[in-house]
């Protein structure tokens, strides 16, 4: 996938990187005081955390009202991560502006461990990012997920990995998108098909980009009218 290098026209100074703390404070301060969102729409079942544990001297109670208040600024935020490649903060920001074309300025906050948070003000922009993918940065899958409370990048378990697979010596009649889609979704979750594969301009092997559970062994072969081997590459 080829992505243009142009910057978003509405971003006056994309190279300016705010500090983590300043971005958090600014994002929260810009929220209207009377704004409200039903947390249940985000799958959040809120409850008071008022019961002190054994070591009560270190316990700080958080009420349901306080949770609603502190979660509210982040209800239109998402968390992203590029699989298999480190991307610098400003490069990632420029690429995101290019592929999403948002109609607003988006703070990009580095959460560590290659996770980044983007905070939207417009729900249509957030929905586009969440639901109109898959998205790719430098030919690597961009994972997009809804913001969630108590997210800690360093402790987040990666359950899936996105990887290119090859089907060497695949007969030309199987260079059909619906057939390749079946193959990809049988091995994992198909994200995309290499453009040369889909147009049958390179017949030595088919290349598919799939999302695979990391706790499952990689498949080594499939049966598609005949026995076929599977190999894997980084890109």
C-beta of residue 44 within 8 angstroms of C-beta of residue 127: no
Average pLDDT of the residues in 169-195: 87
The confidence band for 11, taking pLDDT boundaries of 50, 70 and 90, is very low
Average pLDDT over all residues of the chain: 77
* Domains identified in the chain and CATH numbers: 63-146 (3.30.70.330), 160-234 (3.30.70)
Q: pLDDT by residue (tens digit) across 48-99?
A: 555 556 667 778 888 888 888 999 989 899 999 998 889 999 999 999 999 9
C-beta of residue 75 within 8 angstroms of C-beta of residue 120: no
Any idea what the Cα angle at residue 144 is, between residues 161 and 34, rounded to 5°?
150
> Residue 109 and residue 147: Cα distance in Å, rounded?
12
Which regions of 89-225 does DSSP assign to beta strands (E)?
108-112, 115-119, 135-137, 140-146, 160-168, 189-193, 205-213, 221-223
How many CB atoms neighbour CB 165 within 10 A?
A: 22
- 166's enclosing H/E stretch is strand 160-168
Structure tokens at 70: 């502190």
Identify the pLDDT of residue 215. 73
Q: pLDDT by residue (tens digit) across 122-172?
A: 999 999 998 888 888 998 889 898 998 889 998 887 777 778 888 888 888
Identify the pLDDT of residue 84. 83
Identify the pLDDT of residue 123. 92
- More confidently predicted of 44 and 131: 131
Identify the pLDDT of residue 48. 54
Q: What percent of the chain has pLDDT over 90?
A: 29
Q: What percent of the chain has pLDDT over 70?
A: 71
Between the alpha carbon of residue 62 and those of residues 27, 50, 58, 112, 156, the distances in Å are: 22, 6, 13, 26, 23
């Amino acid at each position: 996938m080829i992505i243009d290098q142009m910057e978003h026209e509405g971003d006056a100074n994309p190279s300016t990187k705010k500090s983590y703390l300043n971005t958090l404070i600014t994002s929260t301060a810009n929220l209207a005081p009377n704004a409200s969102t039903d947390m249940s729409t985000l799958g959040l079942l809120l409850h008071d955390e008022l019961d002190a544990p054994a070591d009560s001297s270190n316990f700080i109670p958080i009420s349901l009202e306080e949770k609603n208040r502190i979660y509210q600024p982040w209800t239109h935020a998402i968390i992203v991560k590029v699989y298999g490649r480190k991307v610098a903060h400003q490069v990632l920001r420029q690429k995101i502006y290019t592929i999403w074309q948002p109609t607003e300025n988006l703070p990009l906050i580095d959460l560590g461990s290659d996770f980044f948070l983007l905070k939207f003000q417009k729900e249509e922009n957030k929905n586009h990012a969440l639901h109109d993918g898959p998205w790719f940065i430098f030919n690597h899958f961009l994972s997009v997920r809804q913001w969630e409370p108590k997210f800690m990048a360093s402790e987040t378990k990666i359950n899936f990995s996105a990887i290119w697979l090859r089907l060497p010596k695949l007969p030309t009649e199987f260079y059909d998108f619906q057939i390749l889609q079946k193959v990809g979704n049988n091995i994992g979750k198909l994200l995309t098909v290499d453009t040369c594969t889909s147009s049958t301009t390179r017949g030595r092997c088919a290349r598919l980009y799939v999302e695979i559970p990391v706790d499952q062994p990689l498949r080594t072969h499939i049966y598609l009218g005949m026995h076929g081997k599977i190999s894997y590459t980084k890109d």
